[in-house]
Amino acid sequence: MDQLVLERLNRERRQRRAVVLVTDLGDGGNRLVCSGDIVADHVLGEAIETAVRTGRSGVVEAVGRKYFLNVHVPAPRLVVIGAVHISQALAPIAKVAGYDVEIIDPRTAFATPDRFPGVPLHAEWPEDVVKTQPLDAFTAVAALTHDPKIDDFPLMAALDAGCFYIGALGSTKTHARRVERLRTLGASSDQVRRIHAPIGLDIGAASPAEIAVAVLAQVIKALRSRGCDGEREKAA
Amino acid sequence: MENAQLINQHRDPLSIAESWMKEGRHVALATVVETWGSAPRPVGSHLVIDADGNFHGSVSGGCVEGTVVSEAADVIASSKPRMLEFGVADETAWQVGLSCGGRIKVYVEPLG
Amino acid sequence: MNAHVDVLDLVSRLKAAEEPFALATVVRTVSVTAAKAGAKAIIRPDGRIEAGWIGGGCARGATLKAAREALADGQSRLISIQPEDLLAELGVKPGDDRDGVKFAKNMCPSQGTMDIFVEPVMPRPALLVLGASPVALALAEQAKPLGFHVMLAAPLGDLLTAPEVDRLVDGFAFDVPQTVRRFVVISTQGKGDEAALKAALAFEADYRGFVGSRRKMASLREKLLGEGIAGTVVDSVKAPAGLDLGAITPEEIALSILAEITLARRQGQRAQGTESLTRKGN
């Protein structure tokens, strides 16, 4: 592998972008396919897209040659706005499912370590946390506080960052008011359509723990059905 | 999946490979490309090796690293990649006492 | 009836033992009554008053009936036991239901009115996970916050570490948990599929799921039919288990199954008016 290819591969990985290293197992040639170029790759396009969506590396054959596709997909993050009851159930099950979970809630009475053992917790405003840890296409955001002062900013930031999943707690009526506020803040109608609200798959959830299951199920579904740039939903 | 946000530059084989190259060392990269059965490390796992036999990473959790490191020396010397195959039946390769199982293919390529 | 047992102590003992019972509490009395507000009784599914006192024969019949109904449908209820003339004044007959209050006749004509709240206390629903596969272990872990009694059955030799479950069984021969609702997931990954499936089909369950392909299930179906198990019973198994989320990792598959079980668990209750928070309220 060429040094420039390796440098670029590492740069993309550090930037939390999906990238595939394609190695021709016949002649040893390597090339790097980044998110934007995948569709244009007519020989291996489909195989590469599947590899990125599933996160699975492997050997594929095309036009009589064998290629190894090594997929580098960042670990999915789940940013939960609100250190509430639902979050207490959501954090452990999402961790088991392979997500890097963190919880943001400026209300210090809620965001206490004994309510969330072993979960990174920011008792700060989302505005301040997002500055140092920007949201990206491999991040899911679930806004659960019911408080526009806390929820609205991260929802807006999630839309702008093209997060693969954005969900917000609240009834259809509450959400209609939220949509109005977000539109005033400059969100397009296509953007606000990406927000899952009321949050969670409709599985009849009747307790905070069951809502947590409904939310995580929806997050997984979004991750596994997204396009290779993590933004299929946005484009659709 | 990997957590690129938390990529530890001192432990990540690909980051180490890059810094070794920049130091002017001759380096080979070994990658698990296929597995069958209960292989100890998944497809895509890396081991990076330099010409002096220093190495970082893992392709089998310690089962076949010794062989891969010595093969890597040939790869560096010849600048030609090669494919290595290991199986449970290969008792010389699979050391006793490790949770070794299944069959793996490891691709070893020169860097630079 | 044992007057020496403190009702609340027995409540916690029965709860810990996962035994079903109904708790009846007098919440209001008018005029002369045998028991006063705060009096409590524990009623078992066979109609036995295990502890406490709610006023002897005057209110007994109506309370036991409410307890029986509460244990059957899992819902709490408020009954108002009044003398016949007062019922007539209100324009209701014994057995009528108005604004969430069920009326009944006081069997002792000289006595007053008693309002009694009757709540069923059910054992936790059981989640039976059969197998030691990564999906099985992830499922047992993820089900914890959902209030299931989790049992994991597998050849213990297949487990590297003991999972944290309510009950761990070696192999697939186990006593079926005595509870109202049971959910079974078979995730044996080829190790004892048939034995585990047979065990899962041997008792009543609200949900049965098999982690494996449709094809795998079809071949197992043939074997089970060959052994005389009814097709309708075998076909109650959902294969592959789980909602279609595009799940890939074992942990994602486990969550898709947990979501499907939640759906099955709440579906029966929706008819009785339990609202789906994810659809309507949040």
pLDDT digits (tens, 9 = 90+) for C189-199: 888 899 999 99
Domain boundaries, position B33: 4-110
Q: In chain C, what residues touch A198 (CB-CB under 8 Å)?
A: 278-282
Choose among A61, A49, A112: nearest CA to A83: A112
Q: What's the pLDDT score for residue B1?
A: 47
Residue from C20, C21, C39 nearest C81 by CA: C39
Q: Which amino acid is at C16?
A: A
A162 vs A52: CA distance, rounded Å: 17
Query: Does residue A60 sit in the same domain as residue A164?
Result: no
Residues A103, A191 within the same domain: yes
Residues A65 and A95 in one domain: no
Angle at C184 between CA C258 and CA C12, to 5 degrees: 85
Interface check A97 vs C, CB under 8 A: yes
Residues 6+ apart with CB under 8 A from B35: B41, B42, B43, B102, B103, B104, B105
Share above pLDDT 90 across residues of chain C, in percent, rounded to a whole number: 52
Q: Under an 8 A CB cutoff, do A25 and B107 touch?
A: yes
Share of residues in chain C with pLDDT > 70 (%): 93
Q: Is there a single domain that holds both residue A135 and residue A33?
A: no
Spell out which residues of chain B touch residue A8, defining contact as CB-CB under 8 Å. Answer: none
SS3 A69: strand
In a mutagenesis test of the C interface, which of A93, A177, A202, A225 is the best target, namely the one with the most C β-carbons within 10 Å?
A93
| Final residue belonging to a domain, choices A24, A49, A72 | A72
- Residue-level pLDDT at B97: 38
Q: What is the CATH number of the domain that holds A225?
A: 3.40.50.720
Chain B residues whose CB is inside 8 A of the A72 CB are 2, 4
Instruction: Report yes or no: A89 at the C interface, CB cutoff 8 Å.
Output: yes
Whether the Cβ atoms of residue C199 and residue C176 lie closer than 8 Å to each other: no
CB contact under 8 A, C146 and A201: no
**What mean pLDDT value characterizes chain C?**
87
Q: Which pLDDT score is estimated for B88?
A: 56
- For residue B112, what pLDDT is reported? 86
Interchain proximity A6–B111, CB inside 8 Å: yes
Average pLDDT, chain A: 91
Contact A204 C267 (CB under 8 A): yes
We report the CATH number of the domain holding residue A31 as 1.10.10
- Which of A15, A30, A68 shows the shortest C-beta gap to B33? A68
Tell me the domains of chain C and their CATH numbers. Answer: 7-121 (no CATH), 126-270 (3.40.50.720)
The string of pLDDT tens digits covering residues A132-154 is 989 999 999 999 999 999 999 99
Rounded to an integer, the average pLDDT of C260-273 is 72
Largest CA distance in chain A: 63
Whether residue A54 sits in one domain with residue A112: no
Per CB-CB distance under 8 Å, the chain B contacts of A10 are: 14-15, 18
Could you give the CA distance from residue A99 to residue A139 in angstroms, rounded to a whole number? 9
State the total domains in chain A.
Answer: 2
pLDDT of the residue at B101: 64
pLDDT in tens, A64-121: 999 999 999 888 999 999 999 999 999 999 999 989 999 999 999 999 999 999 999 9
Residue C190 phi, psi dihedral angles, 5° rounding: 85, -10
Q: Are A115 and A83 spatial neighbours (Cβ–Cβ below 8 Å)?
A: yes
CB nearest to C243's CB, from A197, A204, A217: A217
Those of residues 13-42 in A touching chain B at CB distance below 8 A are 13-16, 23, 25, 28, 30
Q: Does B60 touch chain A (CB under 8 A)?
A: no
A154 within 8 A of A79, measured Cβ to Cβ: yes
Calpha distance B27→B55 (Å, rounded): 10
pLDDT score of A38:
66
Among B91, B1, B97, B81, residue whose Cα is nearest residue B42? B1
Which region among A223-232, B87-96, C160-169, C214-223 has the lowest average model confidence (pLDDT)?
Answer: B87-96
**Residues A65, A130 within the same domain:** no
Residue A7 shares a structural domain with residue A21: yes
Residues of the domain holding A8: 3-72
Q: Is pLDDT of A200 > 90?
A: yes
Note whether C248 contacts A55, CB cutoff 8 Å.
Answer: yes
**Closest chain A residue to the Cα of B13, Cα to Cα:** A10
- What is d(CA C210, CA C193) in angstroms, rounded to the nearest whole number? 9
Residues A67 and A106 in one domain: no
In chain B, which residues have their Cβ closer than 8 Å to the Cβ of A19?
none
Residue C201 has pLDDT above 90, yes or no: yes
Nearest CA in chain A to B28: A1
Residues A130 and A175 in one domain: yes
**In the predicted model, what is the mean pLDDT of residues A191-196?**
96
Residues A64, A173: one domain?
no
From A189's Cα to the closest Cα of chain B, the distance in A is 31
Q: Residue B3: its pLDDT value, please?
A: 43
Number of Cα atoms under 13 Å in the Cβ half of residue B51 = 12
Residue A207 pLDDT exceeds 80: yes
Residues of B in contact with A137 (CB under 8 A): none
Q: Do A204 and C278 touch (CB under 8 A)?
A: yes
> A93 to chain C: nearest residue by CA?
C142
Domain boundary among A72, A94, A128: A72
Tell me what percent of the residues of chain A surpass a pLDDT of 90: 77
Contact: C252, A213; criterion CB under 8 Å: no
Q: Which residue of chain C comes nearest to A199, CA vs CA?
A: C278
List of chain B residues with pLDDT < 70: 1-9, 38, 88-101
- Cβ–Cβ below 8 Å for B3 and A23: no
Beta-sheet strands, E only, within chain C: 21-30, 40-43, 49-52, 77-82, 97-98, 101-105, 113-121, 126-130, 149-154, 167-170, 182-186, 207-210, 237-238
> Which chain B residues are closer than 8 Å to A58 by Cβ?
33-34, 43
How many residue pairs from chains A and B have C-beta atoms closer than 8 A? 77
- Provide mean pLDDT across the span C175-188: 89
Distance from CA of A17 to the nearest CA of B (A): 9
> Tokens for A211?
């809502």
Residue whose C-alpha is closest to residue C258's, from B97, A97, A5: A97
Q: What is the pLDDT of residue C106?
A: 87
For residue C94, what are its two tokens?
A: 């014994």
Is the Cβ pair B1, A9 closer than 8 Å?
no
- pLDDT, tens digit (0-9, with 9 covering 90-100), for C80-95: 999 888 888 889 988 8
pLDDT in tens, C7-28: 899 999 988 888 889 999 999 9
Indicate if the pLDDT at residue C133 is higher than 60.
yes
Q: Does residue A96 share a domain with residue A145? A: yes
Q: Angle, to 10 degrees, between the axis of helix A3-14 and the axis of helix B13-22?
A: 140
Same domain, A33 and A92: no
For the stretch A44-69, pLDDT in tens is 888 998 888 888 899 999 989 999 99
> CB B4 to CB A23 under 8 A?
no
Residue A122 · residue A110 · CB < 8 Å: no
Partner-chain contact A89 C279, CB within 8 Å: no
Compute how many other C-beta atoms are within 10 angstroms of the C-beta atom of residue A201: 24
Answer whether residue C47 shows pLDDT above 90. Answer: no
Here the ipTM equals 0.86
Q: Which of A54, A72, A90 is the last residue of a domain?
A: A72
Place of tokens 């288990």: C241
Please indicate whether residue C272 or residue C263 has the higher confidence score (pLDDT): C263
Tell me the DSSP string of B10-74: TT-HHHHHHHHHHTT--EEEEEEEEEESS-SS-TT-EEEEETTS-EEE-SSTTSSHHHHHHHHHH
Residues of B whose CB is below 8 A from A1: 29, 109, 111-112
Question: How many domains does the structure of chain B reveal?
Answer: 1
Distance CA A37, CA C6 (A): 73
pLDDT at A228 over 80: no
